[in-house]
Amino acid sequence: MALLPGPPAPRGAVFLLVKSIRNPAPALLRTRSRFPRMRPLAATVFRNAARAPEGRGLVGAACRAAPRALEGEMSTRYDAIVIGGGHNGLTTAAYMARAGKKVLVLERRHVLGGAAVTEEIFPGFKFSVLSYVVSLLRPEIIRDLDLPRHGLEILPLDGTFSPMPNGDYLWRMDDHARSIREIARHSRTDAEAYEEFGKAMQALCRFVKPIMGMLPPDPARPGLKDILNLLFMGRRFRALPYDDRYNQVQLMTMSAADFLDQWFETPVLKGTMSASGIIGTFQGVRSPGTAYVLLHHYMGEIDGAFRAWGFSRGGTGGISNAIGSAAVSFGAEIRREAPVARILVEEGKAKGVVLESGDEIHADIVSSSVDPRHTFLRFIEPGHLPDEFLEEVKRYKFRGSSGKVNLALDGLPEFKCLPGVGHHLRGAISISPSVEYMERAYDDAKYGAFSSRPYIDIVIPSLTDPSVAPPGKHVMSCFVQYAPYKLKEGPQAWDQKREVFGDTVVNTIAEYAPNLKEIILHRQVVTPLDLERTYGLSEGNIFHGELSLEQLFFLRPVAGWARFRTPIRNLYMCGSATHPGGGIMGAPGRLAALEILKDFQRGVA
């Protein structure tokens, strides 16, 4: 029998292997538990003993069973465990499996996707329960994982329609020339400025986009590559035209409303555009820093079309399912209804996880795609993390501010300002008539109440994708802000206020589309408390933490720990709480996987 290369076997292990010829099963267990490095040698010993002429009877049967038992035990160990089957966790798993690693994904719910999920809440009606449109999904992920082969299909969203209280409307279409004419109907000055604004935003997006795929530097302990990346960013900034440099600084410091005030005068245009600056944040459109969030949502693309948004066929769950299918095709294993209770940590190193069922699963590394509160305060037992790190995690801001109302309809809403069924219903419908309207909605939230006149972003995906509703019926998705997690009566009050909140949303839309109440067949109301309890989003924050300036780039989620690693060796983060942040983007999952694979190559993991 040829021995394995490497250091000499421990004497105790050799003794147990020799002793195993007389009593193999107990010796196998002792060798496995006490000398993990000897597992392959133990399996070889038992195979040879089972083949030998004297390996008959009970000894032979035991020897023949031992390798199978040992291999079964070894098969439960993985190179990597990914906690959470959201689109980022699946992306991490897919990239690692593509690199030949044995990966296990553990998803708490019965369905994959996290917040990017499609569920048939009512028979025949498939809701994109939370996330509902796509634009930020990184093209390199679509290409690397060949997602179209796994069923991904993005259908275009046709512009934004904004009804106004006075019976007029603003409809910005995918046809740029028609949009300019429509804006000119309200203001010729704004029509001219809109052209320049689009060019300026494209230039700013070109500057920021490389940062989305960059490993955040650590300015406190910069390495050579960090210094080179910072110099690269500095050179690119200096290469910008003067006006673009000025705009970039303003975007990082100004409010969305103030930034837009410099360009436009039409209230409904500014109101609708400013809405992108407050999505998923507990800030108003006049809060400093929201101009960057506007840019964050402005830099999407579909098939190379800048600022394009779309639907995933079959709902946003189709994105998660395509990434999951790609991961499985590369060899990853996915388990649903497998909630994690804690992460196993021994001597400062992650060793695997314990499920709520009590099962232990071991792996060389663990990567968590859930948020920092769950990862560090719930899954890690006390004593394994530095106190100063835990204090930073506790200070990390979630402050969920949004809810969702999903409607199953017997027909289509008729807007007073533009009656009939038309292409204006195929895009986004934005209830955001002015900056003042948006700011008043925030005023309610500041004092612990949901907005009595909320900002609502509406889509009717069944017009573009009939597969999500029965023939002649429709689904209507209503993203609502503000719905603060922390009501003045406490978060638990959401259970009593759920239907009142739903009524407020329906009544607000009905002011513009009076027939809405008559065509509602079913209604699902998702509160911030539901986001936390059902989907694991702490405080109902859809981005795993606010996209505020102090929680971005090398500060996300904690200063000094923005590079996907954590104070516990072989424990990584790969969700939206890491750079570059939230949205159906996949970038955090991809960047985390690339860093983990580097550590494997260096022998660190």
Note whether 71 and 84 are same-domain residues.
Answer: no
Contacts 24+ apart (CB under 8 A), 167-170: 167/416, 167/417, 168/417, 169/415, 169/417, 169/418, 169/424, 170/266, 170/268, 170/269, 170/272
Report the CATH number at residue 567.
3.50.50.60
> 311, 464 in Cβ contact below 8 A?
yes
> 465, 424 in Cβ contact below 8 A?
no
> 547, 281 in Cβ contact below 8 A?
yes
Q: What's the rounded Cα separation, in Å, for the pair 526 and 498? A: 8
pLDDT category at 500 given cuts 50, 70, 90 is very high
* Strand arrangement, sheet containing 428-431: 169-172, 160-163, 428-431, 455-459, 474-481, 402-409, 520-526
Asked whether the predicted pLDDT for residue 49 surpasses 50, the reply is: no
Mean pLDDT of 18-39: 41
The two three-digit tokens of residue 268, written as one number: 């409904």
Point out the least confidently predicted range of 31-40, 246-255, 462-471, 541-550: 31-40
Q: Is 57 part of a structural domain of the chain?
A: yes
Overall number of domains in the chain: 2
Note whether 318 and 344 are same-domain residues.
Answer: yes
Burial class of 355 by CB neighbour count within 10 A (0 to 12, 13 to 18, 19+): middle
For 529-558, what is the HEC assignment? HHHHHHHCCHHHCCCCCCCCHHHCHHHCCC
Asked which of 25, 52, 75 is the last residue of a domain, the reply is: 75
Determine the pLDDT at residue 248. Answer: 87
Q: What's the rounded Cα separation, in Å, for the pair 236 and 208? A: 10
What single DSSP character describes residue 160?
A: E
Note whether 387 and 361 are same-domain residues.
Answer: yes
The CA-based dihedral angle spanning residues 115, 116, 117, 122, taken in that order and rounded to the nearest 10 degrees: 80
Q: What's the rounded Cα separation, in Å, for the pair 406 and 522? A: 8
pLDDT in tens, 367-398: 999 999 999 999 999 999 999 999 999 999 99
Burial class of 402 by CB neighbour count within 10 A (0 to 12, 13 to 18, 19+): buried
Determine the pLDDT at residue 306. Answer: 55
β 103-106/333-335 pair status: parallel
What is the percent of the chain with per-residue pLDDT over 90, rounded to a whole number?
70
Q: Is 344 part of a structural domain of the chain?
A: yes
Q: Is 520 part of a structural domain of the chain?
A: no
Q: Report the length, in residues, of the chain.
A: 605
Burial class of 580 by CB neighbour count within 10 A (0 to 12, 13 to 18, 19+): buried
Asked whether the predicted pLDDT for residue 488 surpasses 90, the reply is: yes
Q: What's the rounded Cα separation, in Å, for the pair 532 and 535? A: 6
Q: Is 284 part of a structural domain of the chain?
A: no
> 546, 520 in Cβ contact below 8 A?
no
Q: What's the rounded Cα separation, in Å, for the pair 181 and 170? A: 11
200 vs 417, more confident: 417
Q: Is 206 part of a structural domain of the chain?
A: no
- Domain of 369, in residue numbers: 79-116+136-143+314-392+545-602
What single DSSP character describes residue 57?
A: H
363 C-beta neighbours (distance < 10 Å), count: 23
Handedness of CA 141, 145, 148, 152 (dihedral sign): negative
Asked whether the predicted pLDDT for residue 571 surpasses 80, the reply is: yes
Note whether 327 and 385 are same-domain residues.
Answer: yes
Handedness of CA 545, 550, 553, 558 (dihedral sign): negative
35 vs 171, more confident: 171
Q: Is 44 part of a structural domain of the chain?
A: yes
Asked whether the predicted pLDDT for residue 21 surpasses 70, the reply is: no
The two three-digit tokens of residue 126, written as one number: 């498939």
Asked whether the predicted pLDDT for residue 414 surpasses 50, the reply is: yes
Note whether 67 and 89 are same-domain residues.
Answer: no
Determine the pLDDT at residue 202. Answer: 86
Determine the pLDDT at residue 231. Answer: 87
Q: Is 105 part of a structural domain of the chain?
A: yes
Note whether 331 and 379 are same-domain residues.
Answer: yes
Determine the pLDDT at residue 221. Answer: 82
Asked whether the predicted pLDDT for residue 474 surpasses 90, the reply is: yes
Asked whether the predicted pLDDT for residue 16 surpasses 70, the reply is: no
Asked whether the predicted pLDDT for residue 12 surpasses 60, the reply is: no
Predicted structure pTM score: 0.85
Phi/psi of residue 312, each to 5°? -85, 130
Asked whether the predicted pLDDT for residue 452 surpasses 50, the reply is: yes
User: Which of 37, 38, 88, 31 has the alpha carbon at shortest distance from 587?
Assistant: 88
Determine the pLDDT at residue 305. Answer: 56
Asked which of 59, 75, 91 is the last residue of a domain, the reply is: 75
The CA-based dihedral angle spanning residues 461, 463, 466, 469, taken in that order and rounded to the nearest 10 degrees: 60
Q: What's the rounded Cα separation, in Å, for the pair 468 and 462? A: 6
pLDDT in tens, 515-551: 999 999 999 999 999 999 999 999 999 999 998 888 9
Q: Is 155 part of a structural domain of the chain?
A: no
Point out the least confidently predicted range of 251-260, 328-337, 367-376, 515-524: 251-260
234 vs 358, more confident: 358
Q: What's the rounded Cα separation, in Å, for the pair 373 and 390? A: 10
Handedness of CA 574, 579, 581, 585 (dihedral sign): negative
pLDDT category at 33 given cuts 50, 70, 90 is very low
